[in-house]
Structure formats: structure tokens, C-alpha cells
Amino acid sequence: MEQYAIKGGNPLVGEVEIGGAKNAALPILAASVMTDDTVYIDNIPDVWDIRVLLKAMENIGVMVRRENRHKVTINGANINSLVADDEYIRRIRGSYYLIGAMLGKYHYAEVALPGGCDIGCRAIDQHIKGFRALGAEVCIEHGLVKTQAERLVGNHIYMDISSVGATINVMMAAVLAEGRTIIENAAKEPHVVDLANFLNSMGADIKGAGTDVIRIRGVEKLHGSDYTIIQDQIEAGTYMFAAAVTKGDVVVKNVIPKHLESISAKLLEIGCEVKEIDDCVRVVASKPLMHTHVKTLPYPGFPTDMQAQITVALGISKGTSIVTESIFENRFKYVDELIKMGANIKVEGGDTAIIDGVEKYTGASISAPDLRAGAALVLAGLAADGITVVDNIHYIARGYEDFHQKLRTLGAQIELVNSERELQKFRLKVG
């Protein structure tokens, strides 16, 4: 089984290049089947979730051609099955974007209920509500979401929850519906905006993405496009916190600083220097980290996907901090692992972590419970005294391209090991 072996204590220093946003690429790839024309998508991250979605798309007859590691050509003219139900589809969350895409284009879709990280109940009632409002029948049978419509007709839809997935799915179905759709209380995340820009580049008429009211005028059909996906806000934020917890100095390159404002604000509060230089942010952590409080919120609030990374930093900050998770109900599972490393954190009521900062973490054998928490535990290992071994790192590969390689270019002592022997070799090497 693959593990990360980490010798902590090195300040990370240097430059790291950020790739395309996974959570934008997933819906954009799914939406690219909504035309029979060819679509070219650039800047896709080479991560496990994306590979799985592309495989699932191939399995229903979509032509997928990798031009290079980050560019793909897609043609959905010869889809031969409107039933997407295979081992791939069931593994990832993003596969449910095929529901909105196929419902919009073919007025029919059967897609296996999605998987994804186990971070709490991940309901899809708002997706279903939106599809029904557009005139579709929806039911869940034998583990599949089945939806069909004679006609899709625009409607006024109020989302009870600001949901990224539901906003995206309903937006996709609505672009090919008759008439106007208004989505209120829409999610405003950068990936929602990126999908809207992509659909507009295919001939859709979407206005207001990025605000909480999205207005869509249905069009008859979509055409091909050549599109470049935005940079990954969460990958960038993770390296910014890697600089903070290792007392480093890292220039995170190729980012959209606007998308990082809530992350930069918290880094400043805990005593880091954060400088924006064009499409780069530099994080310097030369002073001891200070405590703060943070609550995860929909964009532009502090992202739930950065909650574990900031908790790791606050775990070694001076004073008492409170982290409140308001999006998912089961996102503190990694805290037990941090406690093995010496953290003093108590989780109350499932959604609040009370953190009494300790001076340092100490290396331990720990296990990644999900994607973002896995990355955060690696950061803890990089900050810790001694050697940390992280299990279940396949989670990290779902969303971070070349994670350990990028960390190594910043001076991290981290290696992928496959056996006890390799681990022993690492121990001997790093002393």
C-alpha cells in the first residue's frame, strides 16, 4: 500500500505552480457532451477524479482524446447509452453532473448515485427539486437517479441551500430548456462561474453567475468550444498554508488572487505576510503563528475545502482558536490523527473544533480520511518533529496533481513509499 513518508522540520521555500481547478473541470467536462460538435478543454488537472470521469464518459460512447497531460478533446455526438452506471461513476461525486448534461441534451438520464469523500450527508434534494421545476420526472431506483422530460421549460427556482452541485446541475439542464430560468440563492463559487463561462462559450445565455441570482435564457442548441479552465483555488490555498505551517516562504504561482481573498485574510490574521504580485501570491511565515477563529461558509466565505488546512495551522499557533464547520457535518475526522501528533483539539457537537495551540507536532503514523484532510495531515507532517507516515494517500491523488513532487521542489523531505523496506530506507536516509 502506498504511503507518504515525511521528515518534518524543513521550512518550505521556493515557487510552486498551480494547476487547473478540479471542481471546475468536472462539470465542464460533463457539459462538453451537451453539443455534438467537438470541444477542446485545456488546463484540466491530471488527478484521479478527472481520470475517472473521463473513463465513465468513454463508457457511454463519448469520444475522449488526451492531447497532452492537461488538454483533452471531447465529442459527445455518438453517445450510445443514456445510462451511466459503472464502477467509475459510483466512485466520484462529479459524475452526477452527467445528469444535468444529459437531461438538458437528451431529456433523459440514468446515472448512478454519486460517491465522493465521506464528509457528511451529501443530499441531492435540491438537484431533484430543480430538475422537477424544469418539468422533468425524477426518481431514485436501484441506486440510480432516473430523470426524463417530454419538454424542459424554464422556471423560477429558489434553492433552499446554496449548493454548488445543485446550482451547476440545474444550470446545465436549464440552458437547453424553453424560455427563462431564474435560479435564486445560487452558489457563487468560482467553479460555478467557470462553468457558466464555458456554457456561454458554447452558445448558452447565462447571466449573473457569481451572484446569488443566475438568469438563463434557454437556447436551442450548443456548439463546440475551445476553453481553458481556471486555476485551482484550493490547491493554491493548500500550498499557502504549507508555507505558514513550516515557517516558510513560498511564491504560489499562476493563481487568481481574488479567489484567495478569504484564505489570505486568515493567513494575515495569524501573523503571516501575504503579498499579491500579478498572478502570484507570496506567503512568508517568519513570526510565530497566532490564534484566530474561522467559520466555513459558501464563497466568498472561508472554504470548507480549506478547513482542515487552517486547523492544522491553528493547532501550532499561540492561544485558543475556534473552527466552525457550517457546510458539511462530518468534516473533523482527521482531528483524531492530529491528536496522535500531539495536537490539543476538542471537537464539540460535530461542527466546532476548539484548538489549544501546542508548540509543535511530533511525527506519527496517521491515516488520511478524505482528500482535503489528507493534504492537511501531510502539512502537519511537514511541520512536525521527526517522521510521519500517512496512509490512505489515494484520497490525496483524487484532487492534487503531483502533490509530493511539488512539495519536494519546495524543499520538503517527503517520499512515496510502497513497502516497509522502502520506509526503512527513507528513515535511514533522513536520519
Q: What is the set of active-site residues?
A: 117
Does 117 engage in binding with ligand EPZ (CB under 6 A)? yes
The three-class DSSP label of residue 408 is helix
C-beta of 95: minimal distance to ligand EPZ in Å? Answer: 9
Stretch that binds ligand EPZ, among 156-164, 236-244, 273-281, 375-383 (CB under 6 A): 156-164
- Determine the residue type at 370: D
> What separation in angstroms does the CA of 168 have from each of 23, 126, 135, 231?
11, 11, 17, 18
Does 109 engage in binding with ligand EPZ (CB under 6 A)? no
Does 164 engage in binding with ligand EPZ (CB under 6 A)? yes
Q: Is the peptide bond before 300 cis (omega within 30 degrees of 0)?
A: yes
Neighbours of 321 (CB within 10 A): 24
What sections of 202-353 are H helices per DSSP? 233-245, 261-269, 307-314, 335-340
Q: Which residue is nearest to ligand EPZ (CB)?
A: 165
Total H helices, total E strands in the chain: 14, 24
Does 255 engage in binding with ligand EPZ (CB under 6 A)? no
Q: How far apart are CA 196 and CA 104, in angstroms?
A: 15
C-beta of 10: minimal distance to ligand EPZ in Å? Answer: 26
Beta bridge partners of 221: none
- Determine the residue type at 77: A
How many chain residues are in contact with ligand EPZ, going by CB under 6 A?
A: 27
Neighbours of 251 (CB within 10 A): 20
Stretch that binds ligand EPZ, among 125-133, 138-146, 361-369, 411-419 (CB under 6 A): 125-133
Task: Select the residue interacting with ligand EPZ from 58, 118, 123, 429 (CB under 6 A).
Answer: 123
Neighbours of 150 (CB within 10 A): 9
Stretch that binds ligand EPZ, among 161-169, 204-212, 257-265, 348-356 (CB under 6 A): 161-169
The C-alpha R_g of the chain, in whole angstroms, comes to 22
Task: Select the residue interacting with ligand EPZ from 372, 377, 401, 410 (CB under 6 A).
Answer: 372
Stretch that binds ligand EPZ, among 117-125, 213-221, 263-271, 337-345 (CB under 6 A): 117-125
Cβ closest to ligand EPZ, residue 62 vs residue 396: 396
Interface positions with ligand EPZ (CB under 6 A)? 23, 26, 93-94, 117, 119, 121-127, 161, 163-166, 187, 189, 304-305, 327-328, 371-372, 399
